[in-house]
Amino acid sequence: MLGFSLPAMILMGGIALASWLVSSRLKSKFEKYSNLQLRNGMSGQEIAEKMLADHGIRDVRVISVEGQLTDHYNPTDKTVNLSEAVFNQRNAAAAAVAAHECGHAVQHATAYRWLTMRSSLVPVVNVASSYMQWILLGGILMLRTFPQLLLIGIVIFAATTLFSIITLPVEYDASNRALAWLENKNMLTQEEQAGAKDALKWAARTYVVAALGSIATLLYYISIFNNRR
């Protein structure tokens, strides 16, 4: 009863395969567009700073951080954090990422409701990530004697699933803002714009797969709880 059923194994395997395929495709896309040099010669840092300025945002800093795929916007200290490659390079991939992260800064400045909702869940998710797996494991092991523990784990997991779902409109909106600005300001050539759009499309799909995986896992734990007898 506690093991993975065949349908659950097929579902989880399918999601894992989709995640791998999307991640691999994303990597190849970014490698491709990293070789598409911008005709305007601007770096990711310069792209980001101009987008912020064009939106009248003066209190957000653009900084460089170590690592790969570490790009993010931090609403707490109002910083657009760009990985070293994105910060310094002058290609379509760097432009796409830099503008996307600034899209989050624009969301913050305009009190975009989905970003506000996601930000309110961050403390809950941070705490949940530290204890959730242990609670779920304990809940499964003690299912017959203390089923309430698994129920607690399910509630906590549901919060992280909600976070994944809310992330979808946040990420898609940030990409739409980025692409609209790049196009309206004629920052890129048609080829570069198409490359930026393609790269962000595949980046967004990673969040879709993550949300689907979280939903499927949540349903699996719920099924275990419902079938405990």
Q: What's the pTM value of the predicted model, to 2 decimals? A: 0.89
Residue 125 tokens read as: 């998710």
Q: What φ, ψ does residue 146 adopt, rounded to 5°?
A: -145, 70
pLDDT (0 to 100) of residue 6: 65
Tell me how far CA of residue 10 lies from CA of 15, 197, 201, 209, 216, in angstroms. 9, 32, 27, 15, 11
DSSP-based three-state secondary structure for 74: strand
pLDDT (0 to 100) of residue 21: 92
Separation of alpha carbons 69 and 169, rounded Å = 20
Residues of the chain with pLDDT under 50: 1-3
pLDDT (0 to 100) of residue 9: 74
pLDDT (0 to 100) of residue 44: 97
Contacts for 95 with CB less than 8 Å, ≥ 6 apart = 38, 42, 44, 47, 182, 187, 188, 192, 196
Residue with tokens 């994944």: 164
DSSP 5: P
> Closest Cα to residue 15, out of 215, 213, 220?
213
Separation of alpha carbons 211 and 193, rounded Å = 27
Separation of alpha carbons 163 and 126, rounded Å = 11
Contacts for 118 with CB less than 8 Å, ≥ 6 apart = 163, 166, 167, 170
**By the 8 A CB rule, do 221 and 154 touch?**
yes
DSSP 186: T
Give residue-wise pLDDT tens across range 68-110: 889 999 999 999 999 999 999 999 999 999 999 999 999 999 9
Query: Helix axis angle, 92-109 relative to 44-54, nearest 10°?
Result: 30
pLDDT (0 to 100) of residue 1: 41
Known catalytic residues?
Answer: 101
